[in-house]
Amino acid sequence: MSLVINPALHESHYYITHHCVLKPSSTSTKLRVVFDASCTTTSQLSLNDLLLVGPTVQADLYLQLLKFRLDSPDAELQTFQLNTVTYRTAAAPYLAVRSLHYLADKYKEEFPTGASVIKSSFYLDDLLCGADDIHTLQLIKQEFIEVLQEGNFPLA
């Protein structure tokens, strides 16, 4: 995510409630953010309601936003915007696969083998299973990693 320097607070916007999950023993992700797109707004609708998903089960958005102020009541408020696909939203699976297709289209000239494998594979498990020899498999793997790296999706 990145800091929003001058948030347009007079325009409509949506804040997704969230919390962190700490797992110090993890080698790749010691801190993971869990989002709750089921929390209602002042319109009494949640993001998931608008994305045609189940009912809201979380506390009121206003109360969720106030909880973080208990840690730093004197700190200045800051606004952040997410630059990632938000998990646990109805559109997340589509957006994740669409992001891969976007990267494949964008880098098909630079990494033709890796991009074509991304576009032709439905399941991620199938991505590295289409080579006739070890050299081709290594090329697919390297280009696939590079295409994802270009999209800021480093593999762990």
> What CA–CA distance (Å, rounded) separates 103 from 83?
15
- pLDDT tens-digit readout, 76-100: 878 888 877 777 888 888 888 888 8
Tell which residue, 119, 116, 117, 139, has the closest CA to residue 127. 117
Tell me, what's the pLDDT at 53? Answer: 44
Domain ranges of the chain: 2-81, 92-150
The answer, as to whether pTM is greater than 0.75, is no
Task: Convert the pLDDT of each residue in 26-54 to its tens digit.
Answer: 888 888 888 888 888 888 988 888 886 44
